[in-house]
């Protein structure tokens, strides 16, 4: 007999909402270039965006039984995060389950296996990030862990960690590091606005990025 838990220690919703204002690349860079999931995990539509606490589940390849259990127990605002062994040849999630998620107010789904019904998913607008697209069906046979740490896209994701996904990719922020990630993301945005202002004022990339010393040390000579 396998016991699973539905309890998740979720972060402050205000901090989650504030993190959602920043792109995945900004968050990744701001927290020390940490947390980026594999670039193989992509949104079904580039306009899709999600941010919310992870509700984690592990599925057997080509088996979506535990995914359905997770959807049944996840709470509004959660991102269902599925580890299924990077198995590409399975359409474990489609428009029917997306409607179930949307009806519950879930924030999105991230999976390292395949999904299908992508045209309908785009029309529905429910954010789905997947490892592949496959029309091949799944079975409902294997029970497994839920709301335990999982490995997905080369990163450890724990229940309650925050998942931020957009057109550029997916990044995980540790629950205890959320306030820090928000602060550093804003600092990075402010710095980048300063760089852009300098460029528009006529400064070169070498000046703005302080590259003169670096180039000299590496022996680069620019003629002309």
CA–CA distance, 72 with 6 (Å, rounded to integer): 10
Spatial CB neighbours of 120, under 8 Å, sequence gap ≥ 6: 94, 95, 98
141 confidence band (pLDDT: 50, 70, 90): very high
114-115 vs 128-130, strand pairing mode? unpaired
pLDDT tens for 60-109 read 999 999 999 999 999 999 999 999 999 999 999 999 999 999 999 999 99
Same domain, 47 and 123: yes
Predicted TM-score (pTM) of the model is 0.96
Same domain, 84 and 159: yes
Specify if 223 maps to a domain: no
Specify if 8 maps to a domain: no
Tokens of 143: 């029970």
Specify if 106 maps to a domain: yes
224 confidence band (pLDDT: 50, 70, 90): confident
Mean pLDDT (the chain, rounded)? 97
Burial 26-59 (b: 16+ CB within 10 A, else e): bbbbbbeebbbbeeebbbbbeebbbbbbbbbbbb
CA–CA distance, 5 with 25 (Å, rounded to integer): 32
Domain total of the chain: 2
Q: What percentage of the chain reaches a pLDDT higher than 90?
A: 99
161 confidence band (pLDDT: 50, 70, 90): very high
CA–CA distance, 221 with 224 (Å, rounded to integer): 10
Same domain, 123 and 153: yes
pLDDT tens for 177-220 read 999 999 999 999 999 999 999 999 999 999 999 999 999 999 99
Question: Could you tell me the residue range of the domain that residue 72 belongs to?
Answer: 13-176
Same domain, 31 and 84: yes
Same domain, 55 and 40: yes
Question: Residues 81, 54: contact at Cβ < 8 Å?
Answer: yes
Q: Of 38, 48, 24, nearest to 121 (Cα)?
A: 48
Same domain, 155 and 206: no
148 confidence band (pLDDT: 50, 70, 90): very high
Same domain, 23 and 101: yes
Helix (H) or strand (E) holding 123: helix 118-124
Q: What percentage of the chain reaches a pLDDT higher than 70?
A: 100
Q: Of 208, 204, 197, nearest to 222 (Cα)?
A: 204
- What string of DSSP letters covers 7-35? ---PPPHHHHHHHTTS-HHHHHHHTTS--
pLDDT of residue 1: 83
pLDDT of residue 209: 96
């Amino acid at each position: 007999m396998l016991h699973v838990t539905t309890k998740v220690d979720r972060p402050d919703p205000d901090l989650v909402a504030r993190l959602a204002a920043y792109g995945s690349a900004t968050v990744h860079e701001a927290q020390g270039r940490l947390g980026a999931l594999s670039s193989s995990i992509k949104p079904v539509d580039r306009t899709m965006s999600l941010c919310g606490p992870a509700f984690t589940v592990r599925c057997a390849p080509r088996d979506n039984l535990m995914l359905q259990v997770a959807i049944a127990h996840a709470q509004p605002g959660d991102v269902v995060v599925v580890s299924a062994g990077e198995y590409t040849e399975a359409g474990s999630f489609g428009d029917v389950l997306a409607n179930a998620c949307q009806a519950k107010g879930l924030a999105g789904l991230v999976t390292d296996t395949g999904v299908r019904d992508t045209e309908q998913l785009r029309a529905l607008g429910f954010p789905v990030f997947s490892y592949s697209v496959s029309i091949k069906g799944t079975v409902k046979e294997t029970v497994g862990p839920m709301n335990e740490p999982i490995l997905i896209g080369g990163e450890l994701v724990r229940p309650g960690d925050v998942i931020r996904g957009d057109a550029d990719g997916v990044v995980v922020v540790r629950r205890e590091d959320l306030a820090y990630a928000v602060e550093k993301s804003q600092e990075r945005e402010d710095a980048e606005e300063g760089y852009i202002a300098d460029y528009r004022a006529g400064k070169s990339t070498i000046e703005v990025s302080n590259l003169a010393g670096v180039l000299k040390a590496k022996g680069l000579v620019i003629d002309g």
